[in-house]
Amino acid sequence: MTNIFSLDGKVALVTGSSRGLGRAMALGLAGCGAHVVVNGRNPEGIEATRAAIVAAGGSATALAFDTTDIAAADAGVDRIEAEFGHLDILVNNAGYGNARTASEATNVEWDEIIEVDLNACFRLARRASLGMIRRGWGRIINISSINAHIAREANANYCAAKAGLEGLTRALAVEWGPKGITVNAIAPGYMMTPDNMDTPLRADPQQRDRFAGRTALKRWGQANELDGAVVYLASNASTYCTGHVLIVDGGMSVKI
């Protein structure tokens, strides 16, 4: 029988996969057979994820570059194409917020978030699409946020960048659909990742409970709870799904 979720023979780049959601998705994709290129800026972090994938019986390579460094990001995609002959799946995951209020954020602080959460994702998608279009098959998965849909205080740049990323997802899906590429997004809710922009929120018991209470499932998500979504969108299980935003938020956005 055919396993429609199999990623055997596919090469996937997961940006920002040294820790958190990126690391979990890298392990999830490798578990379904993909060779995963693990990325981040810190070489030690990505080597740890690579080693974890190999220890679990998967196949992975570590490739350090800053997604906002245009030359380095282009060179990263080109190197994967040269080394493996194909880059089939791009997961644009590297990103963060800087918790600056709209009133107080400097123009530089605004631009920093738009650059990492939107501009870098566009440039990587465009570079990766070159080989995907040549081969007539590709999967681009942008990691958005529930904050593209519902806003939190001190988050205007992040909300704007992630909403832009979802608009970009639809536009690229329309442009590249005829070329055999699907472009989708995942919008996670509040996930328990070890050390990220929400660490102060989770450290405050009142805030932690308030955010859990906002969901239908009454809890924060675990880092590996995006694995099913990313494998679905990366595999032949989703051949007729494109331009979609898959919200994985424990029901936060459907609850009053």
Q: Which residues are catalytic?
A: 158
| Binding track over 89-118 against ligand NAP, x by CB under 6 A | ----xxxx-------------------x--
Task: Identify which range of 9-17, 130-138, 168-176, 232-240 contacts ligand NAP by CB under 6 A.
Answer: 9-17
Q: Does 25 bind ligand NAP (CB under 6 A)?
A: no
Nearest distance from residue 225's CB to ligand NAP, in Å?
10
Binding ligand NAP (rule: CB under 6 A), the pick from 28, 45, 76, 250 is: 45
Cβ proximity to ligand NAP: between 41 and 86 the closer is 41
197-256 positions binding ligand NAP, by CB under 6 A: 198
Task: Identify which range of 1-9, 28-36, 52-60, 183-191 contacts ligand NAP by CB under 6 A.
Answer: 183-191
Cβ proximity to ligand NAP: between 69 and 240 the closer is 69
**Alpha-carbon span 110 to 156, nearest angstrom:** 9
Given a contact cutoff of 8 angstroms between Cβ atoms, the answer to whether 164 and 225 are in contact is no
116-135 positions binding ligand NAP, by CB under 6 A: 116
Q: Does 67 bind ligand NAP (CB under 6 A)?
A: yes
Given a contact cutoff of 8 angstroms between Cβ atoms, the answer to whether 169 and 142 are in contact is yes
Around 152, how many Cα atoms within 13 Å sit in the side-chain half-sphere? 21
Cα–Cα distances (Å) from 44 to 16, 19, 69, 199, in that order, read 13, 11, 19, 21
CA nearest neighbour of 226 among 96, 95, 93: 93
Please tell me the count of residues contacting ligand NAP according to CB under 6 A.
Answer: 29
Binding ligand NAP (rule: CB under 6 A), the pick from 190, 211, 225, 232 is: 190
Nearest distance from residue 254's CB to ligand NAP, in Å?
16
Q: Does 143 bind ligand NAP (CB under 6 A)?
A: yes
Nearest distance from residue 2's CB to ligand NAP, in Å?
31
Structure tokens at 256: 């009053």
Binding ligand NAP (rule: CB under 6 A), the pick from 5, 6, 31, 41 is: 41
> Measured in Å, how far apart are the chain's first and last C-alpha atoms?
43
User: Phi and psi for 160 in degrees, rounded to 5?
Assistant: -65, -45
> Which residues contact ligand NAP by CB under 6 A?
15-22, 39-42, 45, 66-68, 93-96, 116, 143, 145, 188, 190-191, 193, 196, 198
